[in-house]
Amino acid sequence: MTSSRQALKQSHPLQSTERLERRRQAAPQVFERLRDAILSLELTPGTALSRTTLANQFGVSSTPIRDALMRLEEEGLVEVFPQHATVVSRIDLTLARQAHFLRRSLELEIVRSLALAPEPRLIARLNGILAQQQVLMDAQDLRAFEAADQDLHRSLYEAAHMQDLWLLVRSRSGHIDRLRRLNLPSPGKIQGIMQHHKLIVQAVADGKPDAAQQHLRDHLSGTLSHVDEISARYPGYVRQ
């Protein structure tokens, strides 16, 4: 607790607080928007989150804010210190490695199964996402590029009828996703991601399960192999 308190930053207002949809419950929407802001590093590790300020920003009562923060705490993305503060957590490398292990284990089997029986409609969808990513890469729109990256991987789970496992992976991936976001601007990083994606999709399309697995393994190993560099660049953001 002491280290977190020492790292405490002032509450940082969200850059975008568009009105919530009236047809949906408020708490899930607040959770989604805060989670996205944390994963994109709009809300950086150590940032204090004021319930009153958030309630005013979103135009809701304190109850949806409390419920959203409880869900974020369950995912390890915020730390709640009673009578003190709620802060965005530092990136936990142990949790990041566990999430990486889970995702790699699942996706290796998923791409293998998809490559054993290639579906033209899936390949067309994946190639469409690749074309979109190319445009976003050229525009250096990292946030949208990352969203398209998630869309491609989610499509693999959906094609394998493993949608619930995608939700499980996403709920465990907050720490590894923030590491990836810190590493994304590194020279050549997004170009490497694009190349890996193309190789994975081509191997699935060609019905080559072993090649698909190898390209996926190479793809998912990138961020953790640069943990020391990331930690050195952002010492206040990461904890062992």
Identify the CA nearest to 204 among candidates 146, 120, 135.
120
**Residues 212-218, mean pLDDT to the nearest whole number:** 97
- Provide the β-strand partners of residue 47: 9
DSSP string, the chain: -HHHHHT-B-----S--PPPPTTS-HHHHHHHHHHHHHHTTSS-TTBB--HHHHHHHHT--HHHHHHHHHHHHHTTSEEEETTTEEEEPPEEHHHHHHHHHHHHHHHHHHHHHHHHS--HHHHHHHHHHHHHHHHHHHTT-HHHHHHHHHHHHHHHHHHTT-HHHHHHHHHH-HHHHHHHHHHTTSTTHHHHHHHHHHHHHHHHHTT-HHHHHHHHHHHHTTTGGGHHHHHHH-TTTEE-
Using only C-alpha atoms, the chain has a radius of gyration, in whole angstroms, of 19
Residue 199 confidence (pLDDT) above 70:
yes
pLDDT of 108: 98
Poorest-confidence range of 8-22, 37-51, 115-129? 8-22
Domains and CATH numbers, the chain: 2-89 (1.10.10.10), 92-239 (1.20.120.530)
**pLDDT 10s digits, 109-154:** 999 999 999 999 999 999 999 999 999 999 999 999 999 999 999 9
Sequence length of the chain is 240
pTM: 0.88
Compute the average pLDDT of residues 52-73: 93
85 pLDDT band, cuts 50/70/90, is confident
pLDDT bracket for residue 4 (50, 70, 90):
very low
Mean pLDDT of the chain: 91
